[in-house]
Amino acid sequence: MKKCFKVSLIYAIAALAGGVFYREFTKFNDYMGATSLSKVHTHLFMLGMVVFLIAALFAKDGSLEKEKMFKSFMIVYNIGVPLAAVMMAVRGVTQVLGTELSNGADASISGIAGIAHILTGVGIILFLAALLKFANLRKVSNKN
C-alpha cells in the first residue's frame, strides 16, 4: 500500500510539473493553438496518480502487492505511462516551436508513443487480472 501511495505522489508531482511546463512554455513562445502538451498534465494525473490511489485501496491488506500479475503490472505500466507522457511532451514541444519534422522523425515519435500506449494497455489488463485474482482469493478465504 505504501509503495502505491509513493508512486501516486510521484505521478502527482510529474503531472503538476507537466501542467506548469505546458502553461509557461506556450506563454513564453506566444503559442495559442492546440498542442499535445496540454494532455500530459491530465494523463499523468488520471493514469498515474488516480490509478495508484485506487491500487492503494486494494493493497490495504498487503496481499495484492504479492500477486505476480500485480508486480508485472507495476513494471509494465510504469514504463508505458511515463514513456507516453514523454512522447506527448516531445510532440507538443515540436508543435509549439513549429519544428518541421522529417517523415522518419515524425513516424518515430508516433511509433514510440504507440508502443508506450500498448504497454499502458497491457499494464491495465495486468492490473485488472490481478484484481480479479485478488477478489477470488478473498472470496475463497471469506468462505472459510
Q: What single string gives the DSSP state of each residue in 13-72?
A: HHHHHHHHHHHHHHHHTT--S--THHHHHHHIIIIIIIHHHHHHHHGGGSSGGG-HHHHH
The pTM for the full model equals 0.89
pLDDT at 1: 83
- The mean predicted confidence, pLDDT, of the chain is 92
pLDDT at 48: 96
The Cβ of residue 115 has, within 10 Å, a number of other Cβ atoms equal to: 15
Closest to 54 in 3D by CA, of 140, 125, 117, 127: 127
Domain ranges (residues) in the chain: 2-143
pLDDT at 140: 57
Q: Give per-residue pLDDT as tens, 14-64.
A: 999 999 999 999 999 999 999 999 999 999 999 999 999 999 998 887 778
Q: Give per-residue pLDDT as tens, 74-124.
A: 999 999 999 999 999 999 999 999 999 999 999 999 999 999 999 999 999
